[in-house]
Structure 1
Amino acid sequence: MTTPQSTPATEPTPTTETALADAASPGGAPPLTISLWDFTWYTRTGVGEPFEDLDRAFAEAVARGYNAVRICAMPFLLFRSGLDTSALRFDGLGGEFGQRTRWYDVPASPPVDGRAHLLELFRAARRHDCRIIVSSWEYQQSPSFGVEPLWHRALQAVPPSERARTLADAQADLIDFVRGEQVDDVVAFVELHNEVQFSGVPNDQAQLEAAIERFKQRQPSVPVTVNYAHVPVAWMRKLPRNLDVAVFHPYVYGVLGQLVDEFALRDPARSYPQQRAFAELLRDDAPKLEDWRPPESWKSAATFIPQREIYTHDWCDPAKWDRWLYERYGEHRRAMRETLDLWLDAAADFAAARGVPLVFGEGWVGYTPLHAGFEEGPVGAEICEHAVRRSREIGAWGTIVCSNAAPHHPMWQDVALQRRLNDEFRENR
């Protein structure tokens, strides 16, 4: 599958309407309704886990209206690390630490043959007529789930200035690998890395452009891009000029951002308001922050989530957490809606100016505790509905119901909401 190339700077910029009509669904490809399987498709494969049976996971996704999944394909580990990947082992951050935190509630897993499991994912996707968005979270958090530190150390050994190029080679190697097994047609597009401005990959335009060009030279028929957290409206001109797909993650935060700020969840330089947290967020049996730490290991350096945020997620009382947000949501509702609309419109305008399709691969509110229900409840559902409807109106090629709509999150059980929004996104497209 090919996509239109980026509009050369010397050519007139097309109108938004014309460009979106030309680029919204490259090559006549159907709209992508995306479920975020991230790295969990390989970290949770044991008995009773959501990815024990890939066919079942895909069948459930299709039943909810999805036709695409987005994954960390661990390209560096499998194709550039030089490590033996025939019996990969995964677990959490140590003991009970992180076991009530979204994405980190990983039990000890059976061995996984990395390349074989990747092929089985692609084959299962084809059996269920689904596409795969191939990405990497390796410079954000994927290695923290490994039992051994070798993956993390191999990544850190690559000089920052060479990381984008190395990922380009790893992703090109991956495409060669799946093409050799005749399942490369499952690829929707490739992202060199996830959220480059919040990762260990330098957000350097020249380096990213060179890496994208390197991938294109090896895989000219495969669309390639990098993606960005939020929609960076203040510096869109600094995004690589040779992206084949514009991919953004519009997490608006709003009232959730107020909680994160007031409890200093991401600012270790500030004091953690322990007594206030006990009263407003935490379970009655919660320990103090200082008493809830991961075992000393390399794992803390391999993930970007601060210890105090994991502590608060692990020990929050979901009812208290949700009540805190609901009580303050009215103060943020209008601003959150305006921010989301502004970001989606800016993303559409950017895609139109570049003549490339637009995809929202993650988003809407933000990072919430595993068992909290704000984003899955009536307010969150309204935000999801609005975002999916607007995604359709602005001509996005792909979107999500919500980042939490995946087999490893409780929201997966809300089949009706996912089916309805996915059907609405595809309607009359």
Structure 2
Amino acid sequence: MNDATPGDLPERLSMTLWDFSWYVRTGPGEPFEDLDAAFARAVELGYNAVRICAMPFLIFRSGIDTSALRLEPLGGEYGARVRWYDVREPTVIDAKAHLLAFFQAADRHGVKVIASSWEYQQSPAFADGPAWYEALHAVAPEDRITVLAQAQADLVDYLGEHGLAHVIACVEPHNEVQIGHLTAGLPGVEDAVVELRDRLERGIAAFLARHPEVPCAPNYGGVPVASMRGLPRNATALGFHPYVYGVLDDLIAEFGLRRPVAEFPQEDAAARLLREGAPDLKDWALPEANGWKLKASIMQPAEIYVHDWCDPAAFDRYLYDHYGEHRIAMANRLRDWIDAAADHAKRLGVPFYFGEGWVGYTPRDGRFEEGPVGAGICRDAVAHSARVGAWGTIVCSNAAPQHAMWEDEALQRECNAAFRKG
């Protein structure tokens, strides 16, 4: 039993990550065309919680009319083979009504929701125009987290008006606060986790002043073990994403996936990583009219290009070929990060959870994390999450309707049952 678990909520949350996909992928044949079917499938696989971008700023604070929100792919074939970005069909939703329908469906299926926001990272990139993106960036950097926290409080108010506040397990002001546009204007002298603390504490205070009964968690990419003094002192929960990378870091560095386009090793990548007929990186870009979408998505052009044009088998083969060099270090990092997260949560006396993980960001059609090595990492991570008393965890970030791992029923049932049993 985790003494820090909030009352009237499940002792353990087995989560599936639906991020912004639950509203950008609602078109014909898309994975969230039928929300009830998606929830029913999640429950069948052993999940009792989902984590989403609730688009709180857009709906409650932007001033934009969202009654006919137009959503679409990034543009042309750009991003069409990129995990999380591979939206196929344009769609139009009434955003507020769709949000309500989501929580109503969650309630029907007995599923709790962690409400976050990806709005300063990816979400606005899928709108058909820049108004959402521009509204976000019109907010002064110093005020962004507080405005997001107020929007999350507005969300809880709205759900309360419809008798659905009990569906919320936790809110996060934003996903991965130290990675994206929330760091704008920081001095850059110390790690962003440390420099964001004051902004986060103000935001959390603003939320808790209105809804002290709802856990409010800062959410971090990775586990910032060198900057844990930067965790907000008033947090009432903590969320972490232990992506350990390791061998994936090697591939990213060797092929310059996160470096400027001019540094991309085109010939080497063509020989070892890309599909036949791939265009050069310099020729693979968003249509000019959609250039704002790249800023909204925060992803580097070289990484999008390689995910779009790699031979997935070649990408996976690189990871398998080099995994042995990193196996022990990756296992140690994963265990140490989970231990560190647990230790600091216990110091603060708050529940903690792992909302994403475990290896890292791989192409849509890659199967390293879905294969035998990745599945083994999933099992180890879930087991260790249970051992240290995590309130919630995932099977893997890729275990969701918008990813191929959703079809691996046995792994998900096994991991979810093991975690919830503890």
Alignment TM-score, normalising by the size of structure 1: 0.93
Letter matched to residue 55 of structure 1: D
Q: Which amino acid aligns with 1:345?
A: D
Partner Cα distance (2:63, 2:8) in 1: 36
Letter paired with 1:161: E
Q: Kindly state the Cα deviation for residue 270 of structure 1 after the two structures are TM-superposed.
A: 6.0
Within 1, Cα distance between the matches of 2:204 and 2:130? 29
**Conserved 8 A contact 2:122-2:297:** yes
Q: Distance in 2 between matches of 1:300 and 1:89?
A: 18
Q: Which residue type is aligned with residue 126 of structure 1?
A: D
Matches within 5 A, 1:65-76: 65-76=46-57
Query: What CA distance in whole angstroms lies between the structure 2 residues aligned with 1:226 and 1:21?
Result: 19
**Residue 333 to residue 25, structure 1, CA distance change in 2 (3 Å):** farther
Corresponding residue for 1:367?
361
* Aligned with 2:414 (options 404, 420, 429): 420
In the alignment, the residues of structure 1 paired with residue 80 and residue 177 of structure 2 have an alpha-carbon distance, to the nearest angstrom, of 27
Does residue 1:168 correspond to 2:162, yes or no?
no
CA distance in 1, matches of 2:11, 2:346: 18
2:209 maps to 1:217: yes
Letter in 2 for 1:304: I
**For residue 270 of structure 2, what is the aligned residue in structure 1?**
278
Query: For structure 2, which runs of at least 5 residues remain unmatched after alignment?
Result: 184-191
Return 147-156 or 197-206, whichever deviates more: 197-206
Contact 2:261 2:281 (C-alpha < 8 Å) held by counterparts: no
Show the counterpart of 1:53: 34
Shifted more, 263-272 versus 416-425: the winner is: 263-272
Query: Can you list the C-alpha shifts for 1:268-325, whole angstroms capped at 9, x where unaligned?
Result: 1761111111111110121111111111221111111111100000001111111011
SS at match of 2:316: helix
Paired with 1:234 and 1:110, the residues of 2 have a C-alpha distance of 43
Distance of aligned partners of 1:345 and 1:270 in 2 relative to their CA distance in 1, 3 Å threshold = farther
Q: Secondary structure at the match of 2:317?
A: helix
Aligned to 1:377: 371
Which residue in the other structure is 1:17 paired with?
none
From 13, 38, 58, give the equivalent of 1:77: 58
* 2:331 matched residue in structure 1: 337
CA–CA distance in 1 between the matches of 2:389 and 2:227? 22
Q: Which residue of 2 aligns with 1:139?
A: 120
CA–CA separation in structure 2 for the residues paired with 1:29 and 1:379: 31
Deviation at 1:30? 2.7
Instruction: Output the CA distance in 2 between the equivalents of 1:168 and 1:28.
Output: 21
Aligned to 1:109: 90
Give the TM-score normalised by structure 2: 0.95
The one-letter amino acid paired with 2:141 is P
Aligned to 2:108: 127
Alignment of 1:264 onto 2:245: no
Paired residue for 1:10?
A: none
Higher RCO (Cα < 8 Å, 6 or more apart): 1
Distance in structure 1 (CA, Å) of the matches to 2:208 and 2:56: 16
Aligned ranges 1:156-195 → 2 under 5 Å:
156-195=137-176
- The one of 352, 356, 371 equivalent to 2:350 is 356
1:172 offset after TM fit, Å? 0.7
Q: Which amino acid aligns with 1:277?
A: A
User: Quick one: distance in 1 between partners of 2:419 and 2:262?
Assistant: 43
2:207 corresponds to which letter in structure 1? F
Measured after TM superposition, the shift of residue 108 of structure 1 is 3.4
Q: Could you tell me which amino acid in structure 1 is paired with residue 221 of structure 2?
A: A
User: Which residues in structure 2 correspond to 1:289-300 (within 5 Å)?
Assistant: 289-296=281-288, 297-300=291-294
Distance 1:32 1:423 in 2: 11
Letter of the 1:261 counterpart: A
* 1:5 alignment counterpart: none
| Alignment deviations for residues 154-188 of structure 1 (CA, whole Å, 9 cap, x no partner) | 00100101101111111111111111011111000
CA contact (8 A) 1:264 1:270 kept: no
Query: For the Cα contact (< 8 Å) 1:25–1:397, is it kept in 2?
Result: no
Distance in 2 of aligned mates of 1:97 and 1:192: 30
AA in 2 matched with 1:168: A
**Counterpart of 1:279 in structure 2: which amino acid?**
A
Take 1:110 and 1:406, find their aligned partners in 2: how far apart are those partners? 20
Q: What is the deviation of 1:110?
A: 2.4
CA deviation string 1:100-146 (max 9, x = no partner): 11111112322100000000000000110000000000001110010
The equivalent of 1:6 in structure 2 is none
1:11-63 Cα offsets, whole Å, 9 max, x none, are xxxxxxxxx84215655633100000000000011111110100000001011
> Residue type matched to 2:374 in 1?
G
CA deviation vs aligned residue, 1:354-410 (integer Å, no higher than 9, x gap): 111110000100000000000000000000000000000001010000000000001
Query: Counterparts of 2:310 and 2:176 in 1: how far apart (Å)?
Result: 27
Could you tell me how far 1:192 is from its partner in structure 2?
Answer: 0.4
Q: Is the 8 A contact 1:172 1:215 kept in 2?
A: yes
Q: Is the 8 A contact 1:64 1:415 kept in 2?
A: yes
**Contact map agreement 1:24 1:395 (CA 8 A) in 2:** no
Choose the corresponding residue for 1:315, options 309, 312, 319.
Answer: 309
Task: Give the aligned partner of residue 189 of structure 2.
Answer: none
The answer for unaligned runs of 5 or more in structure 1 is 1-19
Picking from 394, 399, 403, the partner of 1:400 is 394
CA distance in 2 between counterparts of 1:159 and 1:86 reads: 26
Partner of 1:90: 71
Identity of aligned residues (%): 58
**Paired residue secondary structure (1:362):** coil
Contact 2:15 2:49 in 1 (8 A): yes
In structure 1, the partner of 2:243 is 251
1:411 paired with 2:392, answer: no
* Separation (CA, whole Å) in 1 of partners of 2:324 and 2:216: 40
Measured in 2, the distance between the counterparts of 1:184 and 1:293 equals: 43
The number of residues matched between the two structures is: 409
Q: CA RMSD in A?
A: 1.2
Higher mean C-alpha deviation, range 244-253 or range 196-205: 196-205
User: Once the 2 structures are TM-superposed, how far is the Cα of residue 98 of structure 1 from its aligned partner?
Assistant: 0.4
What's the secondary structure of 1:71's corresponding residue? strand
Higher mean C-alpha displacement, 270-279 vs 157-166: 270-279
The counterpart of 2:219, out of the listed 208, 227, 235, is 227
**Is 103-112 or 29-38 further displaced after alignment?**
103-112
